[in-house]
Amino acid sequence: MIEGFGANTTGGLGGTTIWVGNVEELTTALLLNEPRIIRFTNPGNYELVDPIEINNGDLTIDGSDAMICIKIAALQLYASNVIFQNLRLRPGPGYRTALDALYIKDSWNVVVDQCSLSWSVDELFQVVNGGNITLQWCILSEALGNAGHPQGGHSKGPWSMGDVRGLTMHHNLVAHTFDRIPTFTGGQIDLRNHIIYNPGNSRMNFVANYSDLEMNVVKTQYIPGYDSIQKASVSIYEEDNLPSIYLEGNRCPARPTDDLPEEDCIYRNENQLQYLVDTPFAFPEVVTHSIENAYELILNNAGAQPRDLIDARIVQNVRDGTGWIIDDPSQVGGWPDLALVEKDTVRTYFVISPWRYRPNVESEDNEETEFVNDEGSTIAPWTE
């Protein structure tokens, strides 16, 4: 189920289903100007020669049918009403300029669902302006350190730049990234049920320099690792515009339990308490779980499914307290050959059809699930 600001995104629903099996077919399908659902016939690593600029929306890119990874170059979105689902986006350091794993600019109604983003030379995920965007149930990991960025060591995580009019980020794992874990610079942001592991010398940075920033930060867990230095997880800055931040139930080394003040997670909080608000902003609904239940739900379910060796290793790092920020994919074995990996036949999500996964009971920590269509009828999980 799509939740948050991007909940009304339909992608290519009702359009042509286009099956692709190589980079050339994928490029052609992405550049079409018509409603379309792109699905994959062949598993493997799809090596792009150059970034693909997607300028036409009403699009779903669904990797549920074959384990695929897009590498070397990256996807860049400049269109609206787009769903990215069950994709692995791992560019690596091989391209001639620094790339984000996924770049979105001036786009409205965008969903990134059950995706795995890693090995970027620039940001793992960047949004510039636009709005009504949801990033959910994703793994964002191992933004590369010294990998050829013109500014030197980089390793940057999720970042929204400009005035983003509605971005929901929920039930994601951000791991082994030095900075921007995430950083937001203006607009309306709802951040909840995140795990941030081994964030280097960084905090979540909320900087109102492009526009006023209205933000909820709810039940997000900041877990230090090998590269971590900070004990507080939040920094708030006023630069030309006003930040207004609501905090609820977040955990960090300075606030390990909920009986401690919320502001304990703020870096140098005596200067930043003025930006806190007492009531949450009325943003689109997201089912929110306790810190403990969210931890297990995210580690068991986030990222592209079925998991490849990269995501399996990242999740185990979180559980074991291991791993570090890397400079090159070769340090952790490089890209696995997905064409040799057997794929599960049962899907957890199948968003592009009218059938949408949703909890069968309206409760915070419900673990039972069912599949419900738009008319309210239930069916068994979809299988091949």
Least confident of 135-144, 145-154, 199-208, 232-241: 145-154
| Model confidence, pTM | 0.87
CA-based Rg of the chain, rounded to a whole angstrom? 19
Q: Which domain holds residue 115?
A: 4-329
Q: What is the CATH number of the domain that holds 322?
A: 2.160.20.10
Answer whether residue 358 is part of any domain: no
pLDDT digits (tens, 9 = 90+) for 156-166: 888 888 899 99
Answer whether residue 43 is part of any domain: yes
Answer whether residue 104 is part of any domain: yes
Q: Which tokens hold the place of 77?
A: 């979105």
Answer whether residue 163 is part of any domain: yes
Answer whether residue 95 is part of any domain: yes
Answer whether residue 359 is part of any domain: no
**Amino acid, single-letter form, for residue 221:** Q
Distances (CA, A) of 176 to 92, 149, 181, 244, 248: 15, 17, 10, 28, 25
pLDDT digits (tens, 9 = 90+) for 220-243: 999 999 988 876 678 887 778 889
Answer whether residue 42 is part of any domain: yes
Helix (H, G, I), strand (E, B) or coil at 244: strand
pLDDT digits (tens, 9 = 90+) for 16-63: 999 999 999 999 999 999 999 999 999 999 999 999 999 999 999 999
Torsion angle, alpha carbons of 5, 7, 9, 15, to 10: 170
d(CA 181, CA 173): 10
Looking at the DSSP bridge assignments, the partners of residue 131 are 108, 165
Q: How many domains does the chain have?
A: 1
Query: Is it the case that residue 89 has pLDDT exceeding 80?
Result: yes
Answer whether residue 78 is part of any domain: yes
